[in-house]
């Protein structure tokens, strides 16, 4: 475990935005995670927040008076084969490295996640998904640190006990559950099978490079796409021409990026934060943007939606105040 004091979060978070944390604690194995939890308890810190790469977070510019515990990949990789078709990884490993390791061992199943940033622990917590895949379909069991006021203990939960849902899990509902490691059940295949899976993985990365503004720091999709039938009805009242597109292209949802663009907000800028013209559900950091700039853009979008459709779109990214 490595302890840093008064650490500038913008230097490590994916978005390059965030204030100073009283402590940053880097953890790279299960013992480190327990030591970090003990440190927080011993020092009676009232605030603690566990992070991976910070690719789904907006930390405000304020002082974080507590400990940010960062999961990092150990110097010597923890990713290993267990039996024929199971891969184990520490929560701080990049999901991408688990995919690469699997291919090297003739295992497939995670290729849908090509280009998806982040660590194993956060992927489990948020049940990440893309291109029709979801991490829950590959999870066998997860080891967690359960922290209560009195004690902490390592527990192992099977897939069905993790209560996965759309971008949701038991871990997300309980802040005192910290993912320490995970077992992934994958599919053994031959060289041609790996080749096909690798092709899917690479074309997903290529799609993201083409469609997303990855040339600037960002936090992924800022808003959830609209799925609520009532809200979709409100959108159709204003833009009736979208009916076909919702059915044909968006699988029954309304794409937030499209609507933000249609409401003439592409390239809207506050300070050095801007709605990306490449994909309007991304707010990019053009360099030195502040959290307050991003939050101000989010508020503008929400107000515009309220004014136009009479509902406020739901934020997908997590804001840590």
Q: Which residues are catalytic?
A: 167, 221, 316
Q: Residue 120 or residue 197: which is nearer to ligand FAD going by CB?
A: 120
Whole-number Å distance between alpha carbons of 102 and 79 = 9
Q: Enumerate the H helices of the chain as residue ranges.
A: 30-42, 95-104, 120-125, 170-173, 191-211, 229-238, 243-248, 256-262, 291-309
Q: Report, in Å, the least distance between residue 233 CB and ligand FAD.
A: 27
| Cβ-Cβ contacts under 8 Å for 173 (sequence gap 6 or more) | 163
Q: Residue 134 or residue 293: which is nearer to ligand FAD going by CB?
A: 134
| Cβ-Cβ contacts under 8 Å for 259 (sequence gap 6 or more) | 226, 235, 305
Q: Report, in Å, the least distance between residue 180 CB and ligand FAD.
A: 7
Q: Report, in Å, the least distance between residue 240 CB and ligand FAD.
A: 30
Q: Report, in Å, the least distance between residue 223 CB and ligand FAD.
A: 13
**Side-by-side strand order, sheet with 2-8:** 2-8, 20-27, 64-71, 48-51
Reading phi first (left if > 0) and then psi (alpha if -120 to 50, else beta), residue 217 is in beta
Whole-number Å distance between alpha carbons of 58 and 273 = 13
Q: Residue 57 or residue 232: which is nearer to ligand FAD going by CB?
A: 57
Tokens of 314: 């739901």
Q: Residue 179 or residue 256: which is nearer to ligand FAD going by CB?
A: 179
Whole-number Å distance between alpha carbons of 198 and 203 = 9
Residues that bind ligand FAD in the complex, under the rule CB under 6 A: 14, 49-57, 71, 91, 116-119, 121-123, 125-126, 128-130, 171, 178-179, 212, 218-220, 318
Residue-wise burial string across 62-91, b where 16 or more C-beta atoms lie within 10 A, e elsewhere: eebebbbbbbbbeeeebbeeeeebebbbbb
Looking at the DSSP bridge assignments, the partners of residue 91 are none
Q: Residue 85 or residue 147: which is nearer to ligand FAD going by CB?
A: 147
Q: Pairing state of beta strands 48-51 and 64-71?
A: parallel
Contact between 201 and 99 (Cβ < 8 Å): yes
Q: Report, in Å, the least distance between residue 120 CB and ligand FAD.
A: 8
Q: Residue 22 or residue 167: which is nearer to ligand FAD going by CB?
A: 167
């Amino acid at each position: 475990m490595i302890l840093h004091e008064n650490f500038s979060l913008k230097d490590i978070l994916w978005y390059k935005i965030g204030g100073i944390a009283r402590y940053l604690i880097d953890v790279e194995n299960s013992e480190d995670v327990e030591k970090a939890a003990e440190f927080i308890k011993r020092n009676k810190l009232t605030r603690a927040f566990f992070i991976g790469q910070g690719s789904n977070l907006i930390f405000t510019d304020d002082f974080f008076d507590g400990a940010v515990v960062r999961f990092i990949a150990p110097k010597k990789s923890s990713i290993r084969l267990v039996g024929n078709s199971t891969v184990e990884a520490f929560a701080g490993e990049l999901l991408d490295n688990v995919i690469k390791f699997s291919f090297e061992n003739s295992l497939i199943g995670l290729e849908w996640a090509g280009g998806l940033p982040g660590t194993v622990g956060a992927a489990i917590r948020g049940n990440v998904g893309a291109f029709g895949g979801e991490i829950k379909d590959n999870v066998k069991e997860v080891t967690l640190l359960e922290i209560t006021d009195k004690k902490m203990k390592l527990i192992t939960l099977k897939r069905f006990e993790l209560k996965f849902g759309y971008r949701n899990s038991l871990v997300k509902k309980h802040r005192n559950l910290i993912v320490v490691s995970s077992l992934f059940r994958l599919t053994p295949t031959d060289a041609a099978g790996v080749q096909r899976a690798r092709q899917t993985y690479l074309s997903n990365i290529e799609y993201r490079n083409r469609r997303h503004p990855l040339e600037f720091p960002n936090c992924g999709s800022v808003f959830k796409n609209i799925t609520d039938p009532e809200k979709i009805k409100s959108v159709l009242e204003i833009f009736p021409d979208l009916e076909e597109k919702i059915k044909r292209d968006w699988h029954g949802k309304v794409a937030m990026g499209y609507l933000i663009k249609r409401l003439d907000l592409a390239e809207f800028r506050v300070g050095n934060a801007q709605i990306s013209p490449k994909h309007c559900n991304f707010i990019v950091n053009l360099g030195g943007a502040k959290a307050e700039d991003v939050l101000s853009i989010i508020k503008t979008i929400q107000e515009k939606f309220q004014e136009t459709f009479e509902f406020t779109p739901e934020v997908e990214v997590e804001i840590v105040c």
